[in-house]
Structure 1
Amino acid sequence: MRASRSRPLFIMAILGSLSLLLGSCSATPAPSIDSAPAPAAKVPAGLEKFYSQELDWAPCGGALQCTEIEVPMDYAKPEGETMTLALNKRPGGKKTIGSLLVNPGGPGASGLEIVADAVPTMFGQKLQRGYDVIGFDPRGVGSSTPVKCQTPTEQDASREEQFDPSTDAGLADMRKASAAYAKQCAERTGESLGFVDTVSAARDMDVMRAALGDEQLNYLGYSYGTSLGAHYAELFPSNVGKLVLDGALDPTLGDDEITLGQAVGFENEIRSYMQDCLESADCPFTGTLDEALTQLHDLFDSVKATPMVGSDGRKVPIIDFVNGFIIPLYDNSTWPMLTEGLRNAIAGNVDDILYFADLNAGRETDGSYSGNGAAAFTAINCLDYPVDADIPTMRAGAKTLTEKAPTIGEYLAYGAVGCQDWEFPATGKPGELTAKGAAPIMVIGTTGDPATPHAWSQSLAKQLESASLVTFEGHGHTAYGRSNGCISNAVESYFLDGTVPADGLTC
């Protein structure tokens, strides 16, 4: 089993408001995007009825408005079944530039939630006034013809399962459980399960653009959302307006390479966190950094041998414990919360770690699950990435992961098992995305990003012909809305004034 490929940004907003610190940045003067009106975008043949939809917005809480839009289930057969996508809008000022679509990542994270809950604190006021900010749940996610796999009771039970895939018997049990899960997803979701891939979701964004009345797409994508944005630019380069891709996935990497990159990224961030912890007054670990890491490994080994139990009676096996441990590593402002959780866990109280694991899974305090993040994550990735579930190959991969990331690697291994019995074969494959002819695109990478390592943003910026790379020197996953004024100024000047940041800008 493995942790989620990338976490929704709104989780970090829920944990607490994040202060924007003033930061320094250096670069040469940047050009501006030509403000001349764009030519009318072409409507793909056969899709006229989808592109000409009129959106019926209705109030849905506070300043928000909501609507739905229809898209083809299979773009190769637009006359066939359709899927319904949910959108919401946070209206801008009296005079806006247009619409700004936002995706928080995942895959499986809800764009409706980030616009409803996080945008007011993450986005600058001028940006909020300058655009109608649009959230959407991509196909298969949340309120958009969702992937359906398990009931809340079944999901609770699955999280309490523990396998040891390093043994033949443990791996066989994991494969059996994964096959049963794949069957549940296929039976409860139906035909749409085979069409929740990223390329189809990117095509949906062009239908949204047209229905919103925009000649070009303005878009901010975080983490997995960068994959959506980059695929959109590849498919519709002439329809690209202003795109910010923050915390990029590298489209040339396969599933195993992504997992290894994340394992190393989290390992590096764990070392940074542990050093910071040792320098604090309340760290539960002692000695040198290596000695403290050994103590952390001992804690993990203890939970692996004997799962902990929360105050509500739920069992917390090692995978759920690790998922809870990982979440605060996505933002260094939450490191003190991780320290408190680990200190309590060492004392026998796992509730803080279970809280983070529940946050990761979308479990509410009443036992329900908000959204369908876990199901959508698996469904989308199984379509996007071909995997090799050959046992010797997986065992070799597990060995490499453990060697490269001794703290976290073994818990990210054997991910291919999750897709081995998936009813629908993968349709995606790794490859460069160049978006030839697209308007200038802004890519942001964070040097200490554990989930989408900085090298991935560097790679995507090199692939996209019109991209400029902006680097935030700091810790945590993604940058805009949680980093510093330099990043905020670069993003907002780009969206509001068309000022393209110089390639190589460092904040």
Structure 2
Amino acid sequence: MRGGGIRAVSLVATAVLVLGACSGGGDGDADRDGQPAGQTPNAPSPAGADEELPELPAEFTEQELAWEPCGAPTPLQGSGAAPAPGWECADLTVPLDYADPGNGETIDIAVIRARSAGGSGHLGSLVFNFGGPGGSGVATLPRTGDRYAALFEAYDLVSFDPRGVGESAGVVCRSDAEIDASAQEDHGPPRTPAEERAFLTDSREYADACRTRAGDLLPHISTENTARDLDLLRLALGDGRLNYFGISYGTKLGGVYAHLFPDNVGRMVLDAVVDPTRDVVERGLLQTEGFQRALDHYLADCAEQPDCPTGAGGQEGYDVINGLLEELRAEPLPTDTDRQLTRGLAFTALLSALYSEGSWPFLTDALRQALDEGRGDLMLAAAEQYNGRDSQGRYRNVGAANNAVNCGDFASRPATDTVHEHLDEFRAASPVFGETLAWSIMACAHWPVTGEQDQPEVAAPGARPILLLGTTGDPATPLVGAERMRDALGEGVGVLLTYDGEGHGAHSSGDDCVVEAVNAHLLAGSTPDDGTVCP
């Protein structure tokens, strides 16, 4: 094998829907800002749902946001051009430690919004979280705002960088050059005792680097703390209830928020829903099955196109892709840059392209370039976009933030014995992705902070109906996760709409049935019947 040792953190895939009527009942008790008439905004519950916490000082609950025109996203947020005029930015001050909010330690949460001109039909703010964990809402919302034009007629569109992400005390573990070097030395999952030792050494060194650079912050990076920040944001925006649109990891955040603050839940949509009921190993297996399902669908589609590089699909397609990955394990492909396409980067490119059916033609071109021309430019570009590397070689902090949030949330710490115990299950779940994703369950093996449990508390008795969107072909958050979230939220709270299609997220598909159901729920409080299927 060429190059250095196995790179542990590079193995993690960050880290990741019968015709039915799209109509239903409403919540007619809501007035124009999405709260019952006469209700005043409530401060975050001093006790949450399960744990007694001190009351928050007025400096947090009574703060006013100082809005100003937004600058360009920073490298930690993903770089790029400044948002168009009309977008404004501010910082929300929150306690670093909610268990001791008066100790003077605070962090600033970066917030962005575009104000609606909805007039008398104004419903307040609609807050977005686009997932990750580790995605910058400040950078993402202006790029995707056109998708929510109908909602902008009634809502101020708002998003934020969650704590540990982007410009909200963003966690950084390695320099850009160190991340580049790690990616260039990633030749795949370990297969020998020596490679396993190298894998563990790199995992330990990475965790040590995170401890050195962000050790004081890491114990406070968790979904529960971000949910508490979210409620402070609701207060600062002047909303009596939180109207919220969460995607992917944002659905876990939404579920935790609903559990902590059920009385403050307004109109909420959770799309591409994370399964809240499974441990790290079970979630890894579920995602492995999801990506294999998406790959099968891609291979079948490709087989119908002229000159498909993966042949007739099925086992032939697996053999082609696995053959490429094995060749890259021994000999990376050249590109027009000073970086090569390694096995790890090619694996990331495959996963990235399977997130959306719209990326399938690109994947075909990238595979054809690698297989026929012996070049890795297209696959490298896909991997580096997914990893958050900009044109100047600067990385947004999505990888470090993903580790910080997940490792801060999860209690279990699978070891090498756990991987070996389940390796055959992962390989059976996917002959292409199984081996690598089995090793990715060790992403938190040496992390300095441990969560209390793997399963987040999301039961939200008394909360308003929450619309859940699940997609039958979602690779990263399979449909069963939405079904389990519905059950975990509690009877009468979770309402599931299934989109029969491909890709990670139903609303982003643009399907008319899905979009109309979401708009009816958020704009009129008219929620579709549980079990509705689109299109």
The match for 1:189 is 214
Which of residues 83, 91, 115 is equivalent to 1:68? 91
Deviation at 1:326, TM superposition (A): 1.2
Any stretches of 5+ residues in structure 1 without a counterpart? 7-22
**How many Å separate the matches in 1 of 2:57 and 2:468?**
31
Q: Secondary structure at the match of 2:496?
A: strand
Superposed CA deviations along residues 289-342 of structure 1, whole A, max 9, x for unmatched, are 322222222122211222223221213221111101111111101100110000
**TM-score, structure 1 length as denominator?**
0.93
Deviation at 1:267, TM superposition (A): 0.4
Which of residues 513, 524, 533 is equivalent to 1:486? 513
| Larger mean Cα displacement after TM superposition, 282-291 or 165-174 | 282-291
**How many Å separate the matches in 2 of 1:84 and 1:490?**
35
Q: Is 1:159 aligned with 2:159?
A: no
Deviation at 1:398, TM superposition (A): 2.3
1:299 to 1:134, Cα distance in 2 relative to 1, 3 A = same
1:226 to 1:423, Cα distance in 2 relative to 1, 3 A = same
Q: Secondary structure at the match of 1:330?
A: coil
Q: Is 1:346 aligned with 2:371?
A: yes
Matches within 5 A, 1:60-459: 60=70, 61=83, 62-80=85-103, 81-95=105-119, 96-120=122-146, 122-123=147-148, 125-162=149-186, 164-287=189-312, 289-347=314-372, 348-369=374-395, 371-431=396-456, 433-459=458-484
Which of residues 15, 20, 34 is equivalent to 2:29? 34
**How many Å separate the matches in 1 of 2:37 and 2:513?**
29
Q: Secondary structure at the match of 1:191?
A: coil
Deviation at 1:161, TM superposition (A): 1.8
1:139 to 1:288, Cα distance in 2 relative to 1, 3 A = closer
**How many Å separate the matches in 1 of 2:15 and 2:176?**
22
1:200 to 1:431, Cα distance in 2 relative to 1, 3 A = closer
Deviation at 1:29, TM superposition (A): 3.8
The match for 2:8 is none
| Larger mean Cα displacement after TM superposition, 71-80 or 156-165 | 156-165
**How many Å separate the matches in 1 of 2:353 and 2:247?**
17
> Following TM superposition, where does structure 1 have runs of at least 4 consecutive aligned residues deviating by more than 3 angstroms?
none
Q: Secondary structure at the match of 1:417?
A: coil
1:374 to 1:488, Cα distance in 2 relative to 1, 3 A = same
Superposition CA RMSD, Å: 1.7
**How many Å separate the matches in 2 of 1:252 and 1:409?**
21
Superposed CA deviations along residues 264-286 of structure 1, whole A, max 9, x for unmatched, are 00001101000100001131122
Any stretches of 5+ residues in structure 2 without a counterpart? 1-10, 31-35, 47-54, 71-82
Q: Secondary structure at the match of 1:132?
A: strand
| Larger mean Cα displacement after TM superposition, 469-478 or 428-437 | 428-437
Could you tell me which amino acid in structure 1 is paired with residue 216 of structure 2? E
Superposed CA deviations along residues 208-252 of structure 1, whole A, max 9, x for unmatched, are 000100000000000000000000000000000011000111111
Superposed CA deviations along residues 375-401 of structure 1, whole A, max 9, x for unmatched, are 100111111112333322121122221
Q: Secondary structure at the match of 1:315?
A: coil
Could you tell me which amino acid in structure 2 is paired with residue 495 of structure 1? L
Could you tell me which amino acid in structure 2 is paired with residue 34 of structure 1? D
| Aligned residue pairs, count | 488
**TM-score, structure 2 length as denominator?**
0.88
Contact 2:207 2:447 survives alignment (8 Å):
yes
Q: Secondary structure at the match of 1:383?
A: helix
**How many Å separate the matches in 1 of 2:499 and 2:414?**
37
Q: Secondary structure at the match of 2:255?
A: helix
1:239 to 1:29, Cα distance in 2 relative to 1, 3 A = closer
Deviation at 1:34, TM superposition (A): 2.2
**How many Å separate the matches in 1 of 2:152 and 2:307?**
40
Q: Secondary structure at the match of 1:245?
A: strand
Could you tell me which amino acid in structure 2 is paired with residue 244 of structure 1? V
Which of residues 472, 491, 500 is equivalent to 1:473? 500
Contact 2:222 2:409 survives alignment (8 Å):
yes
Q: Secondary structure at the match of 1:309?
A: coil
Superposed CA deviations along residues 180-234 of structure 1, whole A, max 9, x for unmatched, are 1111111112301211110100111000000100000000000000000000000
**How many Å separate the matches in 1 of 2:212 and 2:416?**
27
Contact 2:329 2:343 survives alignment (8 Å):
yes
**How many Å separate the matches in 2 of 1:94 and 1:30?**
24
**How many Å separate the matches in 2 of 1:288 and 1:71?**
52
Deviation at 1:108, TM superposition (A): 0.3
**How many Å separate the matches in 2 of 1:427 and 1:312?**
44
Deviation at 1:86, TM superposition (A): 0.1
Could you tell me which amino acid in structure 2 is paired with residue 194 of structure 1? P
Contact 2:42 2:240 survives alignment (8 Å):
no
Deviation at 1:79, TM superposition (A): 1.1
Superposed CA deviations along residues 30-86 of structure 1, whole A, max 9, x for unmatched, are 334422426234323234321111011001142110000111111001012111100
